[in-house]
Structure 1
Amino acid sequence: MKFWPVVILLLSPWSHAVTLDELQQRFTEQPVIRAHFAQTRTIKDMPQPLRSQGQMLIARDTGLLWDQTSPFPMMLMLDDTRMVQRINGQSPQVITAENNPQMFQFNHLLRALFQADRKVLEQNFQVDFQDKGDGRWTLRLTPITTPLDKIFATIDLAGKTYLEAIQLNDKQGDRTHIILSQHQLTPAQLTDDERQRFAAQ
């Protein structure tokens, strides 16, 4: 059984069909979301899937922190100007729009996915949004721009109050499935430690 934050229990349940605009509004009203992630990557010709887990934080006005704890430590930070990746405490790798525009474009889309940014999504994907009843929804994204259309067949999102599942289906037949759980909206601002982690990357 999941115990949602009290603020969610006070929200009126949806009594009508969910729309993508409503979903975007709901997501943008959540200034900071923290969640646990469990990722399973199934690669063609590999007998066992690759599994990882950790904590995710997305701050509407700051960026995204992806803090993998298993099977090895990896920190990924993404904001409006750069993407920084640090593996096992090694020196960080910094990607910007200037030194790697394609990689930066792809990773910049991660924020659009987590925030259901309709404008950005419709610029890059054919969007198929489905209301599943009881407030649940799915969103299938089919790339229409390069290089995304060379990499992914589809990207599938699903959830209710929060984004709960992401599946990346690539052109090689590989799949990456991400489950998000234990969502927290409080505190609604970044803590001092979280601000330092964004600044220190």
Structure 2
Amino acid sequence: MKYWPLLALLLSPFVGAITLDTLQQRFTEQPIVRAHFTQTRTIKDLPQPLRSQGEMLIARDQGLLWDQKVPFPMALMLDDSRMVQIINGQPPQVITAENNPQMFQFNHLLRALFQADRAVLEQNFRIDFQDMGAGRWTLKLTPITTPLDKIFTSIELAGQQYLDSIRLNDKQGDLTDIAFSQHRLTPTTLTDDERQRFAAH
């Protein structure tokens, strides 16, 4: 029986191997995820990166809430039919698939990223998924459809139990890094305020 520890050592990395399917399953089992985000945008013609931060919520059955707090308030709500953006308390801007199909396609894609929706990702990207060991993974997406291939060189995601970071490499040579922290799975249902935001406008 002395060979069992060695056998276990050899097999254990494969038992826990992560695939895109297991990642999608893991995210599907998280009905609501709330997290803090820090976004850093490096634009080649600007000397200093642009930084923003705030709170994010992704609800499997409702959509995405994006609340930027710094450097100015910006609230974004995205569901299956529309995107509503409110900047600095101004009147809401409503974007639908009818009035801005390209913008809506990109924002619809955001939900697929957060939920590791394999079907949507495979329609739009060449996929390079890597199991980094110790439960960590990376996912590199290279656009194969227009207009995404005209906007992005690649989109890179990384994480472990949750999505921890997104990097957007665009065709202009600019870079957007979004880091997520303080992930929370509770409460598992929307608060009254969150529900109202999805229902508004």
Classify the secondary structure of the residue corresponding to 1:194: helix
* Identical positions, percent: 79
The aligned amino acid for 2:57 is: L
CA root-mean-square deviation: 1.2
Aligned residues: 189
Residue number in structure 2 paired with 1:50: 50
Residue number in structure 1 paired with 2:6: none
Determine which structure has more spread, i.e. the larger CA radius of gyration: 2
Residue number in structure 2 paired with 1:3: none
In the alignment, is the contact (CA less than 8 A) between 1:15 and 1:134 conserved in 2? Answer: no
The aligned amino acid for 2:192 is: D
Residue number in structure 2 paired with 1:36: 36
Deviations 1:82-119 (A, max 9, x none): 01111000001110011111110111000000000000
Residue number in structure 1 paired with 2:5: none
Determine the C-alpha separation between the residues in 1 that align with 2:87 and 2:172.
26
Q: Tell me, which stretches of 5 or more residues in structure 1 are unaligned?
A: 1-13
Determine the C-alpha separation between the residues in 2 that align with 1:18 and 1:162.
13
Residue number in structure 2 paired with 1:167: 167
The aligned amino acid for 2:72 is: F
User: How far is the alpha carbon of 1:193 from its aligned partner?
Assistant: 1.2
Q: Tell me, which stretches of 5 or more residues in structure 2 are unaligned?
A: 1-13
The aligned amino acid for 1:164 is: D
User: How far is the alpha carbon of 1:15 from its aligned partner?
Assistant: 4.7
The aligned amino acid for 2:69 is: T
Does residue 78 (structure 1) correspond to residue 78 (structure 2)? The answer is yes
Determine the C-alpha separation between the residues in 2 that align with 1:47 and 1:80.
38
Determine the C-alpha separation between the residues in 2 that align with 1:95 and 1:197.
15
**Aligned residue runs from structure 1 range 112-131, under 5 A:** 112-131=112-131
Deviations 1:44-81 (A, max 9, x none): 11000000000000000000000000000000100000
Runs of 4+ in 1 over 4 A off after TM superposition: none
User: How far is the alpha carbon of 1:200 from its aligned partner?
Assistant: 2.0
User: How far is the alpha carbon of 1:18 from its aligned partner?
Assistant: 0.5
Determine the C-alpha separation between the residues in 2 that align with 1:158 and 1:84.
27
Q: TM (normalized to structure 1)?
A: 0.92
